[in-house]
Structure 1
């Protein structure tokens, strides 16, 4: 059972990643469609609102590009390779958390009341927050898969 779950974990991470970007694109299309109506009074999506998703994707790539075999129980705290991997992972997760914070900031400052009084115009703010959260979740799933894969080899 565990091997089956671990086998399909990257596919699940890809589905979650795709769902995150799909939700943001849906929020943007929703905003563009509704802003064409004359009676719709909502915020417009600017190019800067794409940055949390782009940088969250960068953080995901950064977290999954390193070789996690340097992180083992035999490495000391100040071992050269292990320290570099730990710093790299810290920076990648800091970027991801910063993107979630930026998405929350955009949602609260632009798309929620009192700045936006139109209830129908809140979906893009919710979508950008869901997007960055889902990208971070997919990153965690991929890192978990890599860690578990390395642990299976250590058992023999």
Structure 2
């Protein structure tokens, strides 16, 4: 995000360093909320299974779980600065983060598969 904000002319008058994480978190939350709002709206408008297959919600649910798993781990826990107890300590935090990223990328790949398989390459 800092590369995006460096192109602005007013980047010298505003200190983005302290607010960068806050702005990125707010933007991610807004995008996440908007995605769920759209999928719930589509499910309400097309309630029958022949119009919209409701099993497609599984990708969004898995992405939500991955989103929560990734955001539950801080940088200090991964580096080992502030986390020494727990189930596996620093290694456990890294494994938890890795599983969260695997779920996130898996749901992204599955959603692309659904898009191209169910809608783009649909034979009628």
TM bracket, shorter-chain basis: 0.5 to 0.7
Report the Cα offset of residue 83 of structure 1.
1.2
1:108 matched to 2:116: yes
Kept in 1, the 8 Å contact 2:43–2:54? The answer is no
Structure 1 residues 68 and 6, CA, compared in 2 at 3 Å: closer, same or farther? closer
- Report what 2:59 is aligned to: 52
1:66 matched to 2:81: no
Q: List runs of 5+ in structure 1 lacking aligned partners.
A: 36-42, 75-79, 118-156
Aligned CA RMSD, in angstroms, stands at: 2.6
The normalised TM-score by structure 2 is: 0.67
Runs of 4+ with >2 A deviation: 4-10, 22-30, 70-74
Distance 2:74 2:80 in 1: 15
Alignment of 1:4-23 (within 5 A): 4-23=19-38
Q: List runs of 5+ in structure 2 lacking aligned partners.
A: 1-14, 82-87
Aligned residues: 102
Higher relative contact order (Cα pairs below 8 Å, separated by 6+ residues): 1
Report the Cα offset of residue 82 of structure 1.
1.6
